Amino acid sequence: MRSRTYIATPPGETIKEQLMSRNMTQKEFAARMDMSEKHISQLINGTVSLTPEMAMRLEMVLGIPSEFWSKLENIYRDKLVKVQAENDMDADLEIIKKIPYNEMSKLGWIEKTGNRKQRVFALRKFFEVVRLNLINKPPISNIACRQLRESNNSDYALLAWAQKAKLEARSIETSSINIERLIRSIPLLRDMTVQDPADFSPALCDILKKCGVALVLLPHIGGSFLHGATFQDRTKIVIGLTLRGRDADKFWFSLFHEIGHIVLGHLSLGKGLTEEEERAADSFARNALIEDCQFQSFISNGDFNNKSAILMFSEEVGISPGIVVGRLQKEGYLPFSFYNDLKIKYVFR
C-alpha cells in the first residue's frame, strides 16, 4: 500500500525473494512450513499477520532468524498505519472544503483554527467518526429532513447541523417513545400557535419530552437550505428546527411536518426520504394546522383576499392569522407581498 510519503511492503515480498533464490514453489514451501497453500499465499500478500510462531517456522525453513521476520512484520504494520492515516487525511482535507467550518466555529460548535489538519481532527471529533467520509453513511446519517434545494455542499452543511442537534439532544431527558401520545397531543400543540414563544416554549418542549421526543432549536447554517430534520437517536426521537427567517408560520409548519414524518413511520425506513414521503408530511402538516375541508370552505367564500375575513377565519378555527396568510401565499391564492403584517417573527431565548 502507498501514500504520498510512505510505502508499506509486507514481509511476504522478502519471503517471495527467498523462494525465487531457491527455485522453490509456494506449494513446496507450504508443505515444508506444514501450512495450507492458502495461508502461505495470504502471508506473502500481507493479508495475514506474521506471528512469532510463524517467524520461528520461517527460521527453520529458510534459515533466517525469527527476530528478522518479526522486525519486518512490525515495520510493515507501522508503515501500514501511516499509509492509511495519510490517505485518510488527504481524503478528509478534500471533504472539509464542503463543510461550513467558519460558520460552525463562529457559532461556538467547534474550535476556531485556520490549520487544515487541525480542522480535520476537530471535525472527526465533532462527528464522532474516525474519518469524515463516514458521516453520510447509514446508520450514522439516518436523518429525515426537508430541504428547499440541493447544492454541492448542502448535504455536508445539513449533516453538520443534524450532528449538532444530536449532541444537544443528549442532555434532554425524555420518556419512552410513545407515538400514540404524540398524536393525542397535536391539538394542544396547535393551540400554541396563538401564544408568545416565551409562554409556549416550555410547555411545547415538555409535551414532546413526554412523548419521547427531544426538540432542539438551532441557528440556520448557510448552504443547508434546511428548515428541520428528524431522526431517532437510541431511545429518543430528535426533532431539530432551524430559526430560518424566524417566521411563525414556517416554524409551525416545519414542526408539524417533522411530526408527520414520525407519525407516518418515515423514520423506520432506514433510507432517504422520497418526494412522495415529503409530500405526505406536507399534507399532514397542512391538515394539522388547518383542516383541508375548513380551508376549502373559506376559499370557496371568495373573500380570502380580505384582511378582515382572514382574521375572522383564523379566530374561527383557532389558529394564528399569519399561518392562514402563509398557506394562502404558498398555495397561490395571495401574492407573497400581501398581508405580511399579519405574520409574526419569533425570538427564542
Question: Around Cβ 85, how many Cβ atoms within 10 Å?
Answer: 14
pLDDT of residue 146: 52
pLDDT of residue 148: 42
Edge to edge, what strands does the sheet with 226-233 contain?
144-147, 226-233, 236-242, 213-218
Percent of the chain with pLDDT over 70: 92
What SS3 state is found at 148?
Answer: coil
pLDDT of residue 326: 94
Cell of 210: 413526554
Cβ atoms of 64 and 18 closer than 8 Å: yes
Q: How far is 56 from 69, CA to CA, in rounded Å?
A: 9
**197: pLDDT confidence band, cut at 50, 70 and 90?**
confident
pLDDT in tens, 37-89: 999 999 999 999 999 999 999 999 999 999 999 999 999 999 999 999 999 99
pLDDT of residue 153: 61
Cβ atoms of 246 and 227 closer than 8 Å: no
Ordered by start, the domain boundaries in the chain are 12-91, 163-342
Q: Distances in Å between the alpha carbon of 271 and those of 6, 143, 281, 293?
A: 38, 8, 16, 33
pLDDT in tens, 222-279: 766 677 888 888 899 999 998 766 788 989 999 999 999 999 998 875 566 788 988 9
Q: What average pLDDT does the structure give for the chain? A: 91
Residue closest to 177 by CA, chosen among 134, 222, 208, 140:
208
Bridging pattern class, strands 144-147 and 226-233: antiparallel
Q: Which of 3-7, 57-61, 244-248, 327-331 comes out lowest in average pLDDT?
A: 244-248
The CATH number of the structural domain formed by 12-91 is 1.10.260.40
Angle between helices 292-300 and 275-289 (to 10 degrees): 70
pLDDT at 149 over 50: no
pLDDT of residue 228: 81
